[in-house]
Structure 1
Amino acid sequence: MTKAELVAKLAQEVEISKKKASEAVDAALASIKDAVRAGETVNFIGFGSFKMVERAAREGRDPRSGRPLKIPARKTVKFSAGKAFKEMLNDGKKKKK
């Protein structure tokens, strides 16, 4: 699903204009980005959570030459799907261990 498709579906579901739906999606995404950038975890019960994680510096390899190279430490975002979302994807069935 693209952003345009999400905006169209939201506009239809909530019966608002596509312009208002686009503004709502933009505002929601900006709020999530700002919160994660500030180090907060953004939780949506039943859907999942977004949080910032730090990756340690490590050694990798240049795929062309095979030479080792140093990959610097960096921050990235991690999404963890919520329990209800995972169960919905598996038709409500839990995996057996």
Structure 2
Amino acid sequence: MNKTEFINAVSEKSGLSKVDAKKAVEAFVETVSGELKAGGKVALLGFGAFSVGEKAARKGVNPKTKQPIDIPARKTVKFKAGAELSELIK
């Protein structure tokens, strides 16, 4: 499902117009993105939690040249599914 299909599904299930559903989806994405950028966490009871994780710097190998490379530390986005969501997809 891509973003347009998701907006259409939200519109159908909520009774909102497609324009309002698009605004709601974009507001959700902006809110979650902003909170994660600030180093926070977003937990939606029954659905799951978005958080920021850290990957340490490490050594790697360029598969093309076989030369060792340094991979810098970076932050990643993590999502942990909630119990209800996990149970639903079993």
Q: Whole-Å Cα distance in 2 between the matches of residues 57 and 25 of structure 1?
A: 35
How far 1:85 sits from its partner (Å)?
1.0
Q: What's the secondary structure of 1:79's corresponding residue?
A: strand
Amino acid at match of 2:29: L
Q: Give the C-alpha shift of residue 66 in structure 1.
A: 1.2
The reply on whether 1:24 has 2:39 as its aligned counterpart is no
Question: Match of 1:93?
Answer: none
- Output the TM-score relative to the length of structure 1: 0.88
Alpha-carbon distance in 1 for matches of 2:27, 2:85: 23
1:73 aligned onto 2:73? yes
SS at match of 1:43: strand
Unaligned runs of 5+ in 2: none
Task: Please tell me the residue identity of whatever aligns with 2:51.
Answer: K
Equivalent-residue separation in structure 1 for 2:14 and 2:77 (angstroms): 30
Q: Which runs of 5+ in 1 are unaligned?
A: 91-97
Aligned residues: 90
Q: TM-score, normalised by structure 2?
A: 0.95
Report 1:1-97 matches (<5 A): 1-90=1-90
RMSD over equivalenced CA pairs, Å? 0.8
Percent of aligned pairs with the same residue? 39
User: Per-residue displacement from partner, 1:53-91 (whole Å, max 9, x unpaired)?
Assistant: 11110001101011110000011111111111111111x
Q: Which amino acid aligns with 2:59?
A: E
